Amino acid sequence: MTFQEQILQGIPDNLPPVKPYNPDINHAPKRKAILSPEEEKLALQNALRYFEPKHHETLLPEFKEELKTYGRIYMYRFRPEYEIYARPIDAYPAKTKQAAAIMLMIQNNLDHAVAQHPHELITYGGNGGVFSNWAQYRLTMKYLAEMTEEQTLVMYSGHPMGLFPSHNNAPRVVVTNGMMIPNYSKPDDWEKYNALGVTQYGQMTAGSYMYIGPQGIVHGTTITVLNGFRKINKSPKGHLFVTSGLGGMSGAQPKAGNIAGCVTVCAEVNPKITQVRLDQGWIDEKITDLDALVKRVKTAKGNKEVVSIAYLGNIVDVWEKFDEENIHIDLGSDQTSLHNPWAGGYYPVNMSFEEANNLMASNPELFKEKVQETLRRHAKAINKHTAKGTYFFDYGNAFLLESSRAGANVLSDHPSHGREFKYPSYVQDIMGPMCFDYGFGPFRWVCASGNPEDLAKTDAIACQVLEAIMKEAPEEIKQQMADNIQWIKGAQENNLVVGSQARILYADSEGRIKIAQAFNEAIAAGKIGPVILGRDHHDVSGTDSPYRETSNIYDGSRFTADMAIHNVIGDSFRGATWVSIHNGGGVGWGEVINGGFGMIIDGSKEAETRLKSMLFWDVNNGISRRSWARNDEAIFAIKRAMEAEPNLKVTIPNKVDDALMDSL
C-alpha cells in the first residue's frame, strides 16, 4: 500500500503483524502499576473498543502484556509501516489544505529526529503525548484525510471523537488535553486515568501539534541567557552557564549558550539522548569524567571559548564538584522535567540510569524518596554557589516548587506575594518584564512545502519586516527588536532545523501580523508555498502558570486561568485553523492551563483577514491581563495598542500611592 492508501485505511480490517520492540529507539520508562484488578480490566475494554470484536481474542492477551510490561497500552502492533516525518503538504491525501497542514504537523511531532519517545507517541518532557496509542493516530489521520471545510474534528485527550458539521470559518480541529475536574488533577490521577486510556498529558506544544524540535525553545533560551548576563553586568564571553537536561526541549540549552557566546555545561543522565544531541550538533563535546570536566572548563574559561559541553552524569555531582574545585559559575539553572519528577523527569544521584528506571517501576515510593533526597542535595549545592555570587534562576520546570516540597532550603527568608522562593523564575526577572509584558513572544512558522529555500526566503522576509519596524519603534522595545534581528540573521548558520522547515522568532502583535502579511503576499505571488503559523504556548497570552508564564503577576490572579481559556475561545472564532487547551505543561499536571493554535495561510484575501484578526487578539488578550495586574511595561504596551486600533478599549488600572498603603 502507498502512504496515501495507508492513511485512508485508518485502523486496518486485518490485523498487521506484531512488531518487535526496538531497543535502539529511546523509549519511555515503564509507568508505575497504579490500577486495581478491576481497573486493569476497564483499561483493556477501553483499548479494545477501537477494534472489531473478531480481533478481541487476539488482541486481549497482547494488550494485557503491554499494560503489565510498560504500564500503558500503546498498541505497538499498529505502528505504521511508513516513516513518520513532515512531508510536503501536497503529499497528504486530504480534501482541504487546512487538514493536510494539521497532518503535516502531527507527523512532525512524531518524527524520530524530533520526538523524545516516538514509539510511545511522546514528543518531549517524558510524558508529553500527541496520542496515547497508535489506534488514535491512525483514526485521526483518516478523519483528517476525509474532512471537508464544512466539518470540525473534535479531539478528546488524544481520542478523535469524530467529525462534526460546522462551517468554513470554524477551526478544522479543536483539541483538549487532560481537562480534569479540579479535584482529580493530582500527579497520580494522571497516572491512573492515562493508564485507563481516557486522558493524556499533551504537554504544551506536543498535544497541539505545534512542536518544532529543540529550536522551539532555543531562541527563548538565548534571550534568557543574554539577559541573564546583562542582569549581572557581564559579557557571556569566557563566563560559565551550568544547567541540566538534554531530552526534549532542554536540548536547546547548549545551542543557546553557543549563540549567546558563553561556556555551557549541561548534565544529562540518559546516554542515548546525549549521543543524539551530539550527533545532531546541539552539543560540541561529551565528557563522562568529573575530573576531566573540571580541567576542560578551566581551559575553556581561561581561553574565553564559546563551547557547549555535555556531562554524562548527574547534575548534582557537577554542582558539588565545582564547589570543591572553586570553579565560579556565573549563571545557573535547571531544565530537567520536574513537572514529571516520579516518572523519569528527574533522576536520583548515586544511581545509574538503568538502576533508577528499574526502581521507578518496582518501588515508586522509594524512588520518590531518592528523588527528594537528591533535590535537597541539589539545592544545597546551588546555595553554596549563590553565596559566592552565582546568579541562579528557575527555568520554569518546577525545580524550586518540587525542591520546596522535598524540604530543600529554597524558600525566601522574606517572602512576599509572588516571591516565595530564594531565587526568581526567569519569567519574573527576565522574560516577563522584558518580553511578555511588551507583547513579545515565540511566534512560529513552518514552510509547508518542505523546501529549505522557502525557509531561507521567509527568514529574509521576516528580517526585512523587523528592520522596517525598528526604525519607528519606541525606545522601550528597541533592545528586543535588535535581539530578534540578530537572531534571524544567524538562523541559517546555526543549523536549527530538526524535522520540518520551521522557524521561531520573538515578536509582538505588530511584528507577527506584518510578517504574516508579507508571507501571504509572497505566497500569492508564487514566491513561496503555503505557510503554517503558530507559537509556543509559552507566550504572552497562551498560558496561565503561577510559577512560570504568569509568575510576574502580583495582583493575586496568577492562580486563575481565565486568560488561557479566553485565548482559545477568541482564537477559535477569529480564524485559527486549529486550537487546543491543555491541563499541564512544563511545570506539571494540575499546575497550569495552556492554550495554542495553528493557522495555515495560502495567499488568499481570506487568510489575510484571519491572520490580522486572530494574531492581534492572541497577543493583546495577554497584554491587557498583564496591564490590569499593574505591570508598567504592559500598561505602556496596551496603551500603544489602543492608539493603533481604535476598536480596542481596555480598562487601565489606577495605581494606589504606596505611602497611603503604608499608613494602614
User: Is 268 annotated among the ligand-binding residues?
Assistant: yes
What span, in angstroms and rounded, lies between the C-alpha atoms of 375 and 402? 8
What span, in angstroms and rounded, lies between the C-alpha atoms of 134 and 197? 12
List, as own/partner pairs, every contact residues 641-644 make where C-beta atoms lie below 8 angstroms and the sequence separation is at least 24, other chains included: 641/439, 641/509, 644/510
What span, in angstroms and rounded, lies between the C-alpha atoms of 48 and 52? 8
Q: What is the 3-state secondary structure (H, E, C) of 49-91?
A: CCCCHHHHHHHHHHHHHHHHHHCCCCCHHHCCCCCCCCCCHHH
What span, in angstroms and rounded, lies between the C-alpha atoms of 152 and 174? 7
What span, in angstroms and rounded, lies between the C-alpha atoms of 55 and 33? 26
User: Is 21 annotated among the ligand-binding residues?
Assistant: no
User: Is 345 annotated among the ligand-binding residues?
Assistant: no
Residue 423 has phi, psi (to 5 degrees) of -120, 150
User: Is 280 annotated among the ligand-binding residues?
Assistant: no
Q: Which of 561, 548, 547, 586 is nearest to 180 (CA)?
A: 561
Query: Helix and strand tally (H, E) in the chain?
Result: 23, 19
Residue 213 near residue 249 (C-beta atoms within 8 A): no
Residue 402 near residue 340 (C-beta atoms within 8 A): no
- Do strands 593-601 and 578-583 pair parallel, antiparallel, or not at all (unpaired)? antiparallel
Tell me how far CA of residue 130 lies from CA of 177, 241, 348, 572, in angstroms. 10, 32, 28, 20
Alpha helices, H only, 281-422: 290-302, 315-324, 353-362, 364-386, 399-405
Q: Burial level of 560, CB count in 10 A (0-12/13-18/19+)? A: middle
User: Is 305 annotated among the ligand-binding residues?
Assistant: no
The secondary structure of 151-174 as a DSSP string is EEEEEETTEEEEEEE--TTS-SEE
Q: How many CB atoms lie within 10 A of CB 618?
A: 29
User: Is 395 annotated among the ligand-binding residues?
Assistant: yes
Binding-site residue positions: 125-126, 203, 268, 395, 586
Binding-site residue positions for NAD(+): 125-126, 203, 268, 395, 586
